[in-house]
Amino acid sequence: MNPQASQASQASQASQVSVPPEISYTADEMMTVSAARALRDGVTCFVGIGLPSAAANLARATHAPRLVLIYESGTIGAKPSQLPLSIGDGMLAETADAVVSVPEIFNYWLQPGRIDVGFLSAAQIDKFGNINTTAIGGDYRHPKVRLPGAGGAPEIAASCREVIVVVRQGRRSFVEQVDFITSVGYGSGPGDRERLGLTGTGPQKIITDLGVLEPDPRTLEFTMTGLYPGVSASVAKERTGWDLRIAAEPEIIAAPTPAELAALRRFQGTRSRSHQ
């Protein structure tokens, strides 16, 4: 490797994971591929924009061609050829099996538990999987940062049969206690979802740029059960705002395959060209 390439490699170390020389990928690509793998063929998935949408569309393009994508705007079975900019992107309606009203999506499909998986992101998340996308710091009326808000996330978190959260791992996002509970995970622990009358099972995975967390069967506190190649348990703990528990033998999650990377980059490249 020449000196310039070596310097570039060192400069990108924070955003790259250690991989064999023949395969190079970013931490975000690893996270997106890992999230895509969590989706099974034939299930229905309520998709959020951003990383969840990228992962869901990657899954449909690779191992889960019968995955049914549902967006909050009312599109059922959307098959976009590029990553949508928003839930209102016309491409979603153009490629959908059906387009229904927003009230129908929530009242008929989501709330009765007809959707298998909800895919969410977060600005903050705590050890019980509670999500904040509302406000950071201060109080609700006078926060330091006002975030985009709830959208359909509280209903998705409450009613989907299971929830997967995709979020980059760092002390600002992985906090001991969220500043505002926008979407309930497990509340303060076992029994809270049942007490609140939430019908879904709650978050089953938090997929990050370091690895995968899953709830402890007894305490429901999220534990690091899988790490990406080149990521250590100590790094995961350093980038978490609570005393993160690590599984005794965390799985080393397989690196993206060339086919997965090609499909993901094709989506991203198509979006970049079409929205210039």
Phi-psi region of 230 (alpha: psi -120 to 50; beta: other; left: phi over 0): left
What are the angstrom distances between the C-alpha of 29 and each of 127, 163, 209, 229, 254? 24, 21, 8, 13, 13
Of the candidates 76, 53, 54, 39, which has an alpha carbon nearest to the alpha carbon of residue 161? 39
How does strand 98-99 pair with strand 75-76? antiparallel
Which sign does the torsion angle of CA 67, 71, 75, 81 carry? Answer: negative
Q: Tokens in use for 231?
A: 């990521």
Residue entry with tokens 């979603």: 92
Instruction: Compute the distance between CA of residue 152 and CA of residue 106 in angstroms, rounded to an integer.
Output: 8
- Residue 242, token pair as written in the block: 């609570």
Looking at residue 86, its amino acid is S
Distance separating alpha carbons of residues 152 and 33, to the nearest angstrom: 24
> Which entry of 22, 29, 72, 214 is annotated as an active-site residue?
72
For residue 193, give the amino acid letter: R
Would you call 72 a catalytic residue per the annotation? Answer: yes
CA 88, chain centre distance (Å) = 20
Contact in structure between 48 and 120 (CB atoms under 8 Å): yes
Query: Which residues participate in catalysis according to the annotation?
Result: 72
